[in-house]
Structure 1
Amino acid sequence: MAAGATIGGGCTYLDASSLRSLIPPSSLIPHFLSSLPSHAPVVTSPVRQSFPIDPSTSSSLLLMPSWSSSLLLPYIGVKMVTSFPHNTSFGLPGISASYVLFSSSTGAALAAIDGTELTLLRTSAVSALAARFLARDDACVLVMVGAGALAPYLIRAHRFVRPGIERVIIWNRSASKARDLVKRLKEEEEEKEGRNVVFEHVEILDTVLGIGDVVSCATSSHDPIVKGGRLKPGAHLDLVGSFSPTMRECDDDALVRGRVFVDFEPAMAEAGELVGAFERGAISRKDVVGTLVDLASGVKVGRRSLEEITVFKSVGTAVVDLLAGQLAYETHIRSN
């Protein structure tokens, strides 16, 4: 089906290519900044339902519904996600998703959206928006931990909010995947004018953690990869990968050394880094300073000094799916 085509009843289909044009970081990040403070309180998002499909492979099905009580955001959205981490060993996507946007006034289906692309775009935009408040203004080195589907989106989004980034270092358990991503990004960069960013890969992460101004992690690890003791003063640690209590991308030391923020409250019950740290007594829930909405609304201050280490943990919520779906749909309607 062609991008932007309508399905029976007037429902619009937005594929991955359409979404990349409709909600790039340059429009989605400002949209989150302006809309989260006012819309987050009027959106109902039940706790994400997660169903194990095959415990031996950690595969699962996740359902994320949400709806708004505001006439300014007259939508209902439902995202259906499958997570099959072992797919990567077969060269298949580990995450697949579909998103449906409905009218909250009539119940009519408005848009069927590529949920995988929507997730990649909104997840990276959330991380970058947090970095806007938490990363140093003069950040110039980005260490990307993981070279999966989300990695290039995170790199692009972080570069949007910190255009001074001039060196991107990529690490992945499979060195060949890191090399392949570096090659792709170099080719992408060559198509632009006036940019001079160095892309490289390393095989030993510990050798570069200490130079990262921003360290962004997007893995499915169940064991700590980032050692907090290696983070340099002033670093910002962005944790994206884990979404269950058994997953963990950093050790307790990173949380103890850092000033910790989360995207939304559910992260404190779902993120393995936080759940484990609470259980071990490394930090408490009171040590989590605030949420992304707190940062965007100015209720909480972000970075307070050049030497402070900051940590942002996101697990994703239906609120940002709904807002991203809203922007994609309304931008599409305006352009047609």
Structure 2
Amino acid sequence: MKEREMRVLSLEDTRAALPFGALIAALDAGFRAGAEVPLRHHHFMKTPGAADDVLLLMPAWQQAGWGGVKIVNVHPGNAGRGLPAIASSYILFDRLTGVHKLLLDGGELTARRTAAASALAAKRLARPESRKMLIVGAGRVGANLAWAYRAAFAIEEIEIWSRTAASAEALAVELRRGGLNARAVPDLEAAVKRAEIISCATLSRAPLIEGEWLQPGQHIDLIGSFTPEMREADDEVLARARIFLDTDHAMVESGDIAIPLASGAISKADIEGTLAGLCRDDLRPRASAEEITLFKGVGSAIEDLAAAVLAYESLTA
């Protein structure tokens, strides 16, 4: 690859460049190394007679080495045009020269690094012998979660629950075609009680997981609540678990954390650490097989940068 040549990766190319085993390791290394991560930029673009379009910019850079920015366009009106509402790209650049090196599919990068970050957190928080997984939500991230966790644990059984039973069944069929032991389930409470790892990736605005359902030794992974109004777990889930976040931004960005903090159901003292701290200090804080652990992720530009660097290095190896 020439010094000033920028490689462009399609969705399929981006997927192939980010295998989950290597991606989980790359995120671990990325959190250890750290980076400058400004707050996400939101720009609202007015559209007469329609909902605002939104431009999101998510940059991160190292002191030396690499930098990058994810660009996301959210256009609600695209539903009427037969187009996806979200378009996303990621640009990786050389930190010294600013030369753009790689353009990746932002949606695929985000889905894969989100699932990989959850699996990385589980490697440090869940019981290593965990074999039974429940995926709540059957969307794009949910599909990636099965493979990410399979790269981190010897998962033997995967159950899938979705508000739309057909979606859960479709995902189960897809995973079975890939060789995984997966099945759709209709009863969320019963599935939660059976699972050792519970991973939620939904757009729910009201709690789905109830604390009274939890069993000793479980690990709960909450992905979907990425605004202050969204929730996937009730207050009792948070009260029963040891809580870890991907970054401190989750305390204001996620309703799963912000709402119980505001009501007093939990306090900041109940939040024991971040994924960055777990990786940096090489911690596995579970003290017993009976503890319930919880990881809440809202995403970090460090994850995007680490994934893009991995993709570039795999292309130039």
Q: TM-score, normalised by structure 1?
A: 0.86
Give, in whole Å, the separation in 1 of the partners of 2:24 and 2:100: 26
- 2:133 and 2:197 in contact (8 A); partners too: yes
2:58 corresponds in structure 1 to 64
- The alpha-carbon deviation at position 149 of structure 1 amounts to 0.5
- The alpha-carbon deviation at position 16 of structure 1 amounts to 2.0
SS in 2 for 1:107: coil
1:308 equivalent in alignment to 2:291: yes
SS in 2 for 1:122: helix
Give, in whole Å, the separation in 1 of the partners of 2:163 and 2:82: 15
- 2:124 and 2:283 in contact (8 A); partners too: no
1:179 equivalent in alignment to 2:169: yes
1:21 equivalent in alignment to 2:16: yes
2:68 corresponds in structure 1 to 77
1:318 equivalent in alignment to 2:311: no
Work out which structure has the larger RCO, using CA pairs closer than 8 Å and 6 or more positions apart in sequence: 2
**Cα RMSD (Å) of the superposition?**
2.6
- 1:82 and 1:97 in contact (8 A); partners too: yes
Letter in structure 1 aligned against 2:229: T
- Which of 85, 100, 111 is the aligned partner of 2:91? 100
- 1:290 and 1:300 in contact (8 A); partners too: no
- The alpha-carbon deviation at position 107 of structure 1 amounts to 1.5
Give, in whole Å, the separation in 2 of the partners of 1:236 and 1:224: 17
Residues 222 and 76 of structure 1, relative CA distance in 2, 3 Å threshold: same
What are the superposed Cα offsets for residues 109-140 of structure 1, whole Å, 9 maximum, x if unpaired?
A: 11111111111111111000000011111212
- 2:89 and 2:105 in contact (8 A); partners too: yes
Letter in structure 2 aligned against 1:243: F
Alignment map for 1:89-238 (pairs within 5 Å): 95-163=86-154, 165-189=155-179, 197-238=180-221
- 1:210 and 1:231 in contact (8 A); partners too: yes
Alignment map for 1:239-250 (pairs within 5 Å): 239-250=222-233
Give, in whole Å, the separation in 1 of the partners of 2:290 and 2:194: 13
SS in 1 for 2:231: coil
Structure 1, unmatched stretches of 5+, are: 190-196
- 1:228 and 1:251 in contact (8 A); partners too: yes
Structure 2, unmatched stretches of 5+, are: none
